[in-house]
A and B are shown apart, each in its own frame.
Chain A
Amino acid sequence: MDPNEHALHNAPFLWRTPEPKSTYGAVIVGGGLHGLATAYYLAKNHGMTDIAVVERGWIGNGNAVRNTTIIRSNYLWDESAAMYEHALKLWEGWTEELDYEILFSQRGVLNLAHNLHDVRESVRRVEANRLNGVDAEWLDADGVKEFCPIVDVSPDARYPVMGATLQRRGGIARHDAVIFALGRACDALGVDIIQGCEVTGIDVHDGRVTGLQTSKGPIAAGKVGLVAAGRTSLLTAMAGFDVPIQSHPLQALVSEVYEQVLNCVVMSNAVHVYVSQAHKGELVMGAGIDAFNSYAQRGGLHVIEEQMSAGMQLFPHFSRARLLRTWGGIVDVCPDASPIVGLTPVENLYVNCGWGTGGFKATPGSGYVMAHTIATGEPHALNRPFSLTRFETGELIDEHGAAAVAH
């Protein structure tokens, strides 16, 4: 059976399933959350409605449905804090703006500290966040216990909890609902969402992009935005340039459905797991990538076991919770763990990639600045530092270990 059949039969309730026109003002390659958000803001903020989103699979097939739905903006460096805080502010208005209940729940995000270095890094990050207008608090171990009673803060734990940073405005959203909301909003603004349409070539003439070759035939385009996460390298190779991306599996898991026992998001670098409880009741856990390069959307079970043993460290409570499901997605990891959003060596061709393990939270901000970049041909102030050229100038935005999560 054509894997698109299910989606294609059901999708028209929220968006049309048109055949591609022969030409568009702009085409977004990649129908994930960032691609849809880009198309949404191109139409809404910049009045560009002659646009298409082309997706090789179907909407709600890739990382849009494989993330752990955590939203926060407590990044260390100014450039990141500005980008993710912009996204968080947009999240705060999206349920109303998109007129769809995306269940954005600002239940708070704890980043635990388990050793003296963690404590120093955390307190520094809290101060940096506050200077950047990002809400942040430092809690000692008693404060952690008060905010999240089921975390084990006993001093004889193998990795005792010495405190945590808290971003109260952080939380989770329902990722499926975000897909539905964005797809419907794009469609209502006239965007053609074309599923089952794989890009097989990028037409470049005299250093300028002119269109795409696809499994549904050629599509001419004035401008093209590549928003394809783990498959970005394959696309940029078609246009004749490289990005410093490595594609890795990132796995996550959910437990069976339980009563609500976990009232916030808990992340830990030293023990290395992040945990929340979905609205429906599953415990949702994730951690680091599988080390090797892959496009296969799966990883090793030992990585899942490590996540669960880390979860057990923090929450002895979960010892009898049962694993329901694990999965993997392919994430696009940059050398400095920061995204690339901006211009490319090819005129009118723009790239938005490298969000790695943390793209979900950035969805609105990423789409907002990418739309600005495509519409005006110049990066927005927020994504100017996230250029492809920073690897030559050395102006890296090194969020490895600084971003409140180990990668």
Chain B
Amino acid sequence: MFQIRCPYCGPRDEPEFKYGGQAHVAYPADPEALSDEEWARFLFFRDNARGRYAERWNHAAGCRRWFNVIRDTGTHEMVGSYQVGEQPLDAR
């Protein structure tokens, strides 16, 4: 079980949180201009790297706010967490 540091509430156990997948996936600026291939990439393709990964978590049983975490998907090391709108701790 992870201990995840909510930037608003501090460190809490993983069952308080919901996972939100890859962070910093921007909605397309001009959706109607996208080709089918570009839409597919936006809808269905997410990074699946082994190593440091920027991901979203929601503190569902706490403050209910979304935030971002840098975590290593190979080792489960929690590198740090930060608020939505902030720059990633480890700009990948």
Write the residues of chain A forming the contact surface with B, with a CB cutoff of 8 angstroms: 233-234, 242, 244-247, 291-296, 298, 300-302, 335, 391-394
Cross-chain contact A234 with B19 (CB below 8 angstroms): no
Interchain residue pairs with CB less than 8 A apart (10): A245-B48, A292-B19, A298-B76, A300-B14, A300-B15, A302-B14, A302-B15, A391-B43, A393-B36, A394-B36
B residues 39-72 in Cβ contact with A at 8 Å? 39-40, 43-46, 48-50, 53, 55, 71
- Given A296-B73, A301-B1, the answer on whether A246 and B48 have CB atoms closer than 8 Å is yes
Residue of B nearest to A394 (CB): B36
- Taking CB atoms, residues of chain A closer than 8 Å to B73 are 247, 292-296
> What is the minimal beta-carbon distance from B36 to any residue of chain A, in angstroms?
5
* Inter-chain contact A296/B36, CB cutoff 8 Å: no
- The answer on a CB contact under 8 Å between B74 and A296 is yes
Closest CB in chain A relative to B5 CB, distance in Å: 15
Closest 5 CB pairs of A and B: A291-B19, A233-B48, A300-B1, A244-B44, A392-B40
CB distance from A58 to the nearest CB of B (A): 20
CB distance from A296 to the nearest CB of B (A): 5
User: How many residues in B have their beta carbons less than 8 Å from beta carbons of A?
Assistant: 26
Q: Tell me whether B40 and A391 are in contact (CB under 8 A).
A: yes
Chain A residue at minimal CB-CB distance from B19? A291
Using a CB–CB cutoff of 8 Å, the interface residues on chain B facing chain A are 1-2, 13-15, 18-19, 21, 36-37, 39-40, 43-46, 48-50, 53, 55, 71, 73-76
Mostly, the B contact residues are mixed
CA distance A279 to B39 in the complex (A): 48
Check if A295 sits within 8 Å of B50, measured CB to CB.
Answer: yes
Closest to B75 in A: A296
**Nearest CB in chain B: distance from A289 CB, A:** 10
Distance from A234 Cβ to chain B, minimum over Cβ atoms (Å): 6
Give min CB distance, B41 to chain A, whole Å: 8
User: Smallest Cβ distance from B78 to chain A, in angstroms?
Assistant: 11
For A393, list chain B residues within 8 Å (CB).
36
A-B contact sample (16 more), CB < 8 A, given A246-B48, A292-B73, A300-B1: A233-B48, A244-B46, A291-B19, A292-B19, A295-B50, A295-B73, A296-B74, A300-B15, A301-B1, A302-B1, A302-B15, A391-B40, A391-B43, A391-B45, A392-B36, A392-B37
Residues in B with CB closer than 8 Å to A245 are 48
Greatest chain A CB density within 10 A among B13, B53, B76 is at B76
Q: Which residues of B contact A298 (CB under 8 A)?
A: 76
A391 and B44 in contact, given A292-B19, A292-B55, A302-B1 (Cβ under 8 angstroms):
yes
CA distance A301 to B19 in the complex (A): 17
The CA of A137 and the CA of B74, in the complex, are separated in Å by 44
Closest to B1 in A: A300
B75 → A minimal CB distance (Å): 7
A300 to B14, CA, bound (A): 8
Q: A296-B73, A296-B76 are in contact. Are A247 and B40 (CB under 8 A)?
A: no
Tell me how far the C-beta of A331 lies from the nearest C-beta in chain B, rounded to whole angstroms.
12
Q: Give the chain B neighbours of A234 by CB distance below 8 A.
A: 49-50
> Measured between alpha carbons, how far is A245 from B14 in the docked complex, in Å?
23
| Nearest neighbor of B77 in chain A, beta-carbon distance | A296
Interchain CB contact under 8 A, A247 and B48: yes
Closest to B37 in A: A392
Q: Quick one: given A293-B55, A295-B74, A392-B36, are A246 and B44 in contact (CB under 8 Å)? A: no
Give A234's nearest chain B residue, CB to CB. B50
**B48 close to A293 (CB less than 8 A):** yes
Given contacts A293-B55, A296-B74, A392-B36, contact A335 B48 (CB under 8 A): no
**In whole angstroms, what is the CA distance A300 to B19 when docked?**
13
Q: How far is the CA of A247 from the CA of B55 in the complex (A)?
A: 14
- Selected contact of B21 from candidates A246, A300, A302, A394, CB within 8 Å: A246
Residue of B nearest to A237 (CB): B49
Measured in the bound complex, the distance between the Cα atoms of B39 and A291 in whole Å is 24
A291–B18 CB distance below 8 A: yes
